[in-house]
Amino acid sequence: MPSRCSLAFENDFFEQEIRQLLYGKGRNAYRIIFTIVNDR
């Protein structure tokens, strides 16, 4: 369910919708940036 993720700050700078997912906790957290194209 990638559409549950929030829009990224960079979303305003791109034509496509840019979403982000935060994975991990504390100092070991990663920010995953992605787009949704059709059903992929």
Q: Using CA atoms, how far apart are residues 15 and 26, in angstroms rounded to an integer?
A: 31
User: 2 vs 24, which has greater pLDDT?
Assistant: 24
User: 34 vs 39, which has greater pLDDT?
Assistant: 34
| pLDDT on residue 38 | 85
CB-CB contact of 34 with 19 (8 Å) = yes
What is the model's pTM? 0.76
Residue 24 phi, psi (nearest 5): 105, -175
Give the chain's mean pLDDT: 92
pLDDT tens, position by position, 5-23: 999 999 999 999 999 999 9
Q: Using CA atoms, how far apart are residues 13 and 4, in angstroms rounded to an integer?
A: 21
